[in-house]
Amino acid sequence: MQIPGFGEVGSTGLVGAIGLSMSPAAIAWKIALTVLAASIVMALLRFIPRAEV
Binding site for another protein (CB under 8 A): 5-8, 12-14, 25, 28-29, 31-32, 35-36, 39-40, 43-44, 46-47, 50-53
Minimal distance in Å, beta carbon 6 to another protein?
6
Q: Are 32 and 46 in contact (CB under 8 A)?
A: no
∠ Cα 9 16 23 (to 5°) = 120
Q: Which is nearer to another protein, 6 or 22 (CB)?
A: 6
Minimal distance in Å, beta carbon 20 to another protein?
18
In the 8-state DSSP scheme, what is residue 2? E
Length of the chain: 53
